[in-house]
Amino acid sequence: MPPIVTVPIAPVSDADASHRPADPRYRLIDPPTQYLDKLAQQWMVARGESQPFVHYTLDRLPEGYTLYEMRRPSNPNTADKRLFGHPNRVFFDSPNRFFPHFLHLMKNKGSNFGCPCTVCNANGKKPLGIQDSRSASADSSVPRGREKSRLMDSVRDDKAGKVDEEGTPDVYRALIDKLKRKGEIDAPIEEPMSMDWRVERKPLQVMLQRCRTQAPWIPRQGEIVLFVLSIPEGREIVFDYDTSEYRLYHAASETYEDSPAWRAGVVTQVPTEEKSYEVFNLVMEPSHKLGVNYSGFRVESLPDPNGEEKSVQKQYKYVPLHYTRPFAFYQEILRGIPRESWHATITNAMTIMSSFSLVDRFNFRGSWPEAVVNCRGIYIGAELILVGDAVRLLPPSEKQGNITSVDIDVLHIKSIRLTLTNLDRASDNDRDEGHPYNTSVEVRGIPYTTNPIAKFADVSPLNDNLGPLGMEDYASFTPFFPKRAKGKLVCIPFHRILGRCYDAIAVQLWFPNEQRKIVDMSQKKNQEVTGAELPNITLLHYGAEGVLAARQYSSQNYRKIDHRSGKSWFWGDTRVESLDVHSMSGAPVERFDANRDPRKWRREIRVLEGVGPAGKVRTTEEKRKLVEKFGVPGRRGRSKDDENDVAAVWTSIIEEARYNGNEDADDEDLYHALGAELLARDGEAEWAEETKGNSKRRKFLDGGKRDAEDHDIIVIDDDE
C-alpha cells in the first residue's frame, strides 16, 4: 500500500445535478473510486505537485456529478461507466475525457466557459473561449506559488551510531570522525545517501523561503494551533468584555453564546495564496469567498503523543485563518472553560510543549574537540522558529515568577546552532544513553527591550517598519530599544524562547481588551516612566504563563522525555518524531511508513552511484535498468535518452573519481564527490536558475551563516 493522500477539490461545480440516467439498468457507483483516483493523480501532476510513491485521491467529485455503470446488453461481462451531470446533459465515458473539464473547473472557479473538453465542444455548442489556460489562471489573484504539502526536517540527528536505525549513514558521526582526523572542518552537511533527505530537501527550502517573507502571524507547517472545526452560520468568535472570555456571538440577536469548541491540531498544509491574507483575516472572514480548500490551512487533530492510537489525527479539516489561534495563547483563549471540558487534543498539545527538533542542519564547522552545527530553524513546542524571525524571550529562569511584559525581551535571530563540545571525551561509538559529549542549542541575535531602563545607553527606539517582521506597530505606545551596542549579538539558550513576536496589530486583534488600556498608555507615552511603574499592559507577555505551565506539564508527562537522567526536554530527530504523529498530510512518513524500505533504497542509490555493496562498480546496463524503474531521483524526465545519458554520466563520474582522484580515494571522499554531483543533478541548477538575480533569495540560500558574519560580532553570553 502506497501512502494515500486525499486531495481536496475546490468546492465549485458547473453540474446539472438533475442530469441522471433514466434507464433503471444503470447502477450508481458510490464512491466513484476510479474517477477520484485518476483525476487526483492527473491533477497533482498538472499542478506539478505529484510526489513519487504517493497515491492521490480526491475527497469527492464536483457537486452534482454522479457516476453510473451499465452492463452491456450484448456482453454482461463488460460494463461501461458513465459520469452524469454535465450541463449539456451528455455524459462522460471515461475519467480521461472528464479530466480536462475538471481541471478547467478547478482553475476557473467552476465556470466551464472556454473549457476544452470533448463534451463542452460537442456539436458547436461550445461557447468560444480562451484557448490558453494560463491566461485564465493569470487573471485570478492566485499566484502560481508552489504548494507544499509535506513537512520534514531534512537531516538526522546525532544520537545514533555510524548508521541510524534505518541504516542511513549518520553524517554527524562521519563528520565528527573526520574532524578528529583533520582537526578542522567547515563544510556543508549533505546526506546524498538518504532518500528522505534528497526527496525532502527542495520542498523544505521552498517552505522556509515562504516563511521568511510572510507575516509571522500566519501559521507555519508543523506548528500546533488552536482551531475550531466550524463556526455556526451567523456567528463569530468575539471577546466578551464582561467576562473576559472568548465566546460565539450571534450578531443578529446580539447575544453571546457558548465558548467556541477549541481543539489543538498540527498545521500540515498551508494555503496556496496566503499572500492574499490581510491581518484582519486573523479574526474575520476574508472578503474574497474562496473555497476553503484554497484559502484554508489543513489542520489535523493532535493525537495523544503518549498513546498508540493515532486515528484522531484523521480528523483533519481545511480551515480559514480566523478559525485558528497560536497555541501559545491557550491559557488566555480558553479562559472561562473548565479544564475538564477541554478537548483532549489540547492536553495532547500541552504534552509535547517541551520538545524541540532542529530544522535544516546545513553546515558543520569544527575545530577539535568542538564543533558547531548551523541550522535554519528549530521547532520549539508549538512553534517553528527560523533564522530571521523576531522572537519573544522569557526572562532568565530565576526571574520567571510573575512575568510582566517589560520582562519580555525580543530577539532578532541571526543564527541557530547546535554546539558539540568535549568531543574528545566521547567514545567512538556514542550509541550509549544520552550524549557522551556535550551538546547545547543556542540562538544568536540582536536583543531589544521595551523597558527603558534596560536599554543600551542613549540609543533611539526602533522605528516601525525598519525592524524585522513581527516588530511592527509597536513604536507608538511601547517602542523597542536595542539592548546592546550596534553590531553586538547575544547568545541565548533555546529554552528561553517563548515564541514568535507578532505585529502589535495582530496581538490587538486577538486580544481586543487591551485596546482600552492602550489608549491609557498612549497618553503616558512621553512621560518619564520607571520600570516598576510600567503597567503590565504591553502586548508581549501573552502566552508566557501558559507556555511555562505547559512546558512544565510536558516535562512531567511526556513519556519520551528521559526523566531518569534528569532531562526536561525531548530532543526529536524530526518534527514528526517530536509530535509522535505517524503521518503528515495523510501520507505516512518517516519510519512509521510500513511501506518504506530504506535498505532497499539505499542499495539502489548505491548502485545508481556505481558503488556496489562491495564497492565494485556496477555495469551501465544495471544502472540503466534501475533508472528505468525508479526514474532519476529528483528529476521528472524519464525518457530513454535521459536514462541512458544519466547512467552513462554516472558511470563516468565514478570512473573519473577513482581514476583521477587519489588511488586511495576512500569511500567517504568518493561519497562526497558523488553527493555533490548528485545534488547538482537533483535540480540544484534549476533552483539556482530560479533565484538568479534575486539577491534576497540568494542570501537566503546562503543562510544564517552569512547573516551572522555580516556583523562585527562580539558575542555575549546573556544567560546569567
Number of residues this chain uses to bind DNA (CB under 7 A): 25
* DSSP conformation letters of 556-586: HH-TTS-GGGT--SEEESSHHHHHT-SEETT
Which part of the chain contacts DNA (CB under 7 A), choosing from 86-94, 273-281, 297-305, 689-697?
86-94
Taking the complex as a whole, how short is the minimal distance between the CB of residue 37 and DNA, in angstroms? 9
Taking the complex as a whole, how short is the minimal distance between the CB of residue 607 and DNA, in angstroms? 9
391 within 8 A of 442, measured Cβ to Cβ: no
Q: Which regions of 66-219 does DSSP assign to beta strands (E)?
A: 66-71, 79-84, 184-188
Q: Which of 40, 57, 82, 271 binds DNA (CB under 7 A)?
A: 82
Binding status of residue 16 toward DNA by CB under 7 A: no
Which residue(s) pair with 266 in the sheet? Answer: 224, 300
Q: Which of 88, 94, 331, 439 binds DNA (CB under 7 A)?
A: 94
Taking the complex as a whole, how short is the minimal distance between the CB of residue 1 and DNA, in angstroms? 11
Binding status of residue 148 toward DNA by CB under 7 A: no
* DSSP conformation letters of 58-107: ES-PSTT-EEEEEE-SS-TT-EEEEEE--TTS--B-SHHHHHHHHHHHHH
Element (H, E) at 696: helix 695-709
Nearer to DNA, 97 or 711 (CB): 97
Binding status of residue 73 toward DNA by CB under 7 A: yes
Binding status of residue 72 toward DNA by CB under 7 A: yes
32 within 8 A of 39, measured Cβ to Cβ: no
Binding status of residue 3 toward DNA by CB under 7 A: no
Interface map 325-354 toward DNA (x if CB under 7 A): ------------------------------
Show the CA angle centred on residue 262, arms to residues 261 and 268, nearest 5°: 130
Alpha-carbon distance 225 to 220, whole Å?
10
Alpha-carbon distance 54 to 612, whole Å?
28
Q: Which of 10, 29, 44, 90 binds DNA (CB under 7 A)?
A: 90
Which part of the chain contacts DNA (CB under 7 A), choosing from 76-84, 216-224, 271-279, 558-566?
76-84
Quote the radius of gyration of the chain (alpha carbons, Å): 28
Alpha-carbon distance 384 to 707, whole Å?
19
Alpha-carbon distance 602 to 621, whole Å?
19
Which part of the chain contacts DNA (CB under 7 A), choosing from 77-85, 253-261, 280-288, 413-421?
77-85
Binding status of residue 24 toward DNA by CB under 7 A: no
Taking the complex as a whole, how short is the minimal distance between the CB of residue 99 and DNA, in angstroms? 9
Alpha-carbon distance 254 to 86, whole Å?
44
Strands 370-380 and 383-386, how do they pair? antiparallel
Binding status of residue 34 toward DNA by CB under 7 A: yes
* DSSP conformation letters of 438-452: EEEEEEEEEEEES-T
Q: Which of 32, 95, 271, 572 binds DNA (CB under 7 A)?
A: 95
Binding status of residue 46 toward DNA by CB under 7 A: no
Binding status of residue 123 toward DNA by CB under 7 A: no
Alpha-carbon distance 68 to 21, whole Å?
8
**Which of the residues 97 through 116 are near DNA (CB under 7 A)?**
97
Count Cβ neighbours within 10 Å for each residue of 339-367 and write b for 16 or more, e otherwise. Answer: eeebbebbbbbbbbbbbbbbbbbbbbbbe
**Which of the residues 573 through 632 are near DNA (CB under 7 A)?**
597, 600, 613, 625, 629
Q: Which of 10, 46, 70, 344 binds DNA (CB under 7 A)?
A: 70
Taking the complex as a whole, how short is the minimal distance between the CB of residue 123 and DNA, in angstroms? 12
Q: Which of 15, 38, 61, 197 binds DNA (CB under 7 A)?
A: 38
Alpha-carbon distance 194 to 155, whole Å?
9
CA distances in angstroms from 622 to 485, 579, 636, listed in the order given: 62, 41, 20
Which part of the chain contacts DNA (CB under 7 A), choosing from 70-78, 303-311, 381-389, 692-700?
70-78
Q: Indicate if the alpha-carbon torsion angle 103, 104, 109, 112 is positive or negative.
A: negative
Alpha-carbon distance 507 to 539, whole Å?
7
Count Cβ neighbours within 10 Å for each residue of 431-464 and write b for 16 or more, e otherwise. Answer: eeeeeebebebbbbbbbbbbbbeebeeeeebbeb
Taking the complex as a whole, how short is the minimal distance between the CB of residue 96 and DNA, in angstroms? 4
Taking the complex as a whole, how short is the minimal distance between the CB of residue 184 and DNA, in angstroms? 38
Which part of the chain contacts DNA (CB under 7 A), choosing from 69-77, 184-192, 445-453, 473-481?
69-77
Which part of the chain contacts DNA (CB under 7 A), choosing from 95-103, 106-114, 457-465, 558-566?
95-103
Binding status of residue 4 toward DNA by CB under 7 A: no
Binding status of residue 74 toward DNA by CB under 7 A: yes
Of how many residues is the chain composed? 720
Q: Which of 1, 24, 77, 181 binds DNA (CB under 7 A)?
A: 77
Nearer to DNA, 42 or 269 (CB): 42
Nearer to DNA, 7 or 561 (CB): 7
Nearer to DNA, 82 or 201 (CB): 82
Binding site for DNA (CB under 7 A): 34, 38, 70, 72-75, 77-82, 90-91, 93-97, 597, 600, 613, 625, 629
